[in-house]
Structure 1
Amino acid sequence: SMHMIFTGNPGTGKTTIARLVAKYLKAIGALKGGQLVEVSRGDLVGRYTGHTAPLTNSVIESALGGVLFIDEAYSLYRGEQDSFGLEAIDTLVKGMEDHRDELVVILAGYTREMEHFLTANSGLASRFPNRIEFPDYTAAELLDITHRLAEGRGYQLDESCNAPLLGYYQRRQAQDARTAGNGRLARNTLEKAIFHQSRRLVAEPAAELDVILPSDLELE
């Protein structure tokens, strides 16, 4: 079985790796389509009785030949009283069995919540033998990501940005890595810096157009 569970905090690269898995499985001939269909609870769980199973089956059909990626999969199970969520899970398990040779399912979410989710259906845990934990990025890794993102946008961070950025990322990750955002934190920090840099250039038209300075950083 190639079904997988990706656990870890937001921004650690789970969706990116899922896309690569889909492309790889197509490249080696394990899947015909190689598409990644990314969904969450709202795409699978209906609003009234009898709506959930057709909705979930429709999503499964769209993913045949590729990978079905369910983000925050634990939200499908909100307890034994959540009949709609349980119906979606039961339908998913049946769909995985019926289409075992043409569908790979990847579930993603927080580590602790995913462990609880796997108790929702007796056949769920055994169908996901491949489990990958995505660790949080270190401050140094986030700094490197920021530099790479900047280069991809045609900018460069002045060396004097490194120390304040490193300190900022260390503080944010230490406070709560679960909500800090990991890779998204780096991207958002760069977006703010580019915005402030553009405003600075209006006042300093002779300044270098592609260089981001410490004064452009917004490190709350």
Structure 2
Amino acid sequence: MALTPEERAERIRNRKAKAALNRLNALPGMTGLKEQINQMVQFAKVSKLRERMGLKTESHSNHMVFTGNPGTGKTTAARLIGEAFVHMGLLKTTKNEIPFVEVHQSDITESLVGGSEKKISAKFDAAQGGVLFIDEAYSFLGKSEHNTDSKVMTVIVQKMEDMRDEIMVIAAGYPKEMEDFLNFNPGLRSRFSNKIHFPDYAVADLVAIAEVMCAEREYEISPDYRERLSQRLDQERMLPGFGNARTVRNIVEQSIRRQSLRVSVLARPDRDELVTLLGDDVSLLSVQPVVSEKEQLLESISKAKKRLFEIEVEELLS
């Protein structure tokens, strides 16, 4: 039996939604996120079945808060979730392309009275039918001039309600600061009913991310590269400002440059030599021992005494 155009279109949408969800599930880690998204997906499916049978359905907010350190995959996940939800019909749209609008505090800064409110409103309009991703949402606060922060938050709350079927708002940032953001306006917390934390990646997940990054660039990693990379990531995780996947990207790019230097001196490198990253292509951090000023002074005195003794011996022997 031939499919109707509507049935064919629905199959295409379902296939695209499944593809986006598969890409999301293939990302390393993010167990809590994947579980919650699966709950939302199954809820949407059951709601559709209930609606077809004339049963009551519950409305559900798609807006989310993502908390976590930089480089934990928040933006990537937001894109894939938005793509899947649009194809599932959870977000109404008439656009061919699914919008993903990322907004920072600097994007809406305006010296004129009322300018910031107009700019954030325009961002909502641009994201209609897709995702509005507010990064470091708490940076919008503390703009006391003309009471700008309160006015901007009022616009955000109103737009989230008015466009709840047409847009998914995802606010992201550090956990503690995001609590300050949610507490700033009484309407924010109730509208962001889905809160997901992105923990720092384990070393094994970071290595898996490195493999994906290398494969995208048509490089392969050797067993000794994987071992040396794990050692480097163990060092990096102890440093302040560790960037998770961003740190991995920097190491991979550094490794490729080091590999290029190594391969460039070969007379006729073959394909394996051109694509393979070896352990020597990962530089370990030089960890300097912490030495007190007293220890440094004593060491300097010792070296000076030793040098004086060597000079006296040289004079005696001359």
User: CA separation in 1, counterparts of 2:126 and 2:213?
Assistant: 32
The answer (yes or no) to whether the contact 2:62–2:164 under 8 Å persists in 1 is no
Offset at residue 93 of structure 1 (A): 0.9
Secondary structure at the aligned position of 1:104 is classed as strand
Q: Does 1:190 align with 2:252?
A: yes
Q: Does 1:116 align with 2:185?
A: no
Change (3 A) 1:173 1:121: same
Q: Quick one: higher RCO (CA 8 Å, sep 6+), 1 or 2?
A: 1
The letter of the residue matching 1:71 is: D
CA offsets 1:127-182 (integer angstroms, 9 cap, x no match): 10000101110111111211221122111112111222111111221334xx2111
Match of 1:211 in 2: 276
Offset at residue 4 of structure 1 (A): 0.3
Match of 2:82 in 1: 22
Given the alignment, which residue of 107, 129, 134 partners 2:193?
A: 129
The answer (yes or no) to whether the contact 2:220–2:277 under 8 Å persists in 1 is yes
The letter of the residue matching 2:278 is: L
Structure 1 portions without partners, runs of 5+: none
The letter of the residue matching 2:262 is: R
The answer (yes or no) to whether the contact 1:37–1:63 under 8 Å persists in 2 is yes
The letter of the residue matching 2:70 is: P
Q: Show structure 1 runs of 4+ deviating over 4 A.
A: 79-82
Secondary structure at the aligned position of 1:131 is classed as strand
Match of 2:234 in 1: 170
Which of 1 and 2 has greater Rg? Answer: 2
Match of 1:11 in 2: 71
The letter of the residue matching 2:221 is: L
TM-score by length of 2: 0.65
The letter of the residue matching 1:2 is: N
Structure 2 portions without partners, runs of 5+: 1-60, 286-318
User: CA separation in 2, counterparts of 1:198 and 1:186?
Assistant: 18
The answer (yes or no) to whether the contact 1:45–1:88 under 8 Å persists in 2 is no
TM-score by length of 1: 0.92
Offset at residue 98 of structure 1 (A): 2.0
User: CA separation in 2, counterparts of 1:80 and 1:148?
Assistant: 45
Offset at residue 21 of structure 1 (A): 1.0
Identity %: 39
User: CA separation in 2, counterparts of 1:104 and 1:87?
Assistant: 21
The letter of the residue matching 2:265 is: A
Secondary structure at the aligned position of 1:180 is classed as coil
The answer (yes or no) to whether the contact 2:256–2:277 under 8 Å persists in 1 is yes
User: CA separation in 1, counterparts of 2:214 and 2:246?
Assistant: 14
Change (3 A) 1:205 1:74: farther
The answer (yes or no) to whether the contact 1:45–1:85 under 8 Å persists in 2 is no
CA root-mean-square deviation: 1.7
The answer (yes or no) to whether the contact 2:66–2:173 under 8 Å persists in 1 is yes
Offset at residue 201 of structure 1 (A): 1.7
The answer (yes or no) to whether the contact 1:45–1:84 under 8 Å persists in 2 is no
CA offsets 1:84-125 (integer angstroms, 9 cap, x no match): 222221111111122222121100001111011111111111
Alignment length (residue pairs): 218
The answer (yes or no) to whether the contact 1:11–1:184 under 8 Å persists in 2 is yes
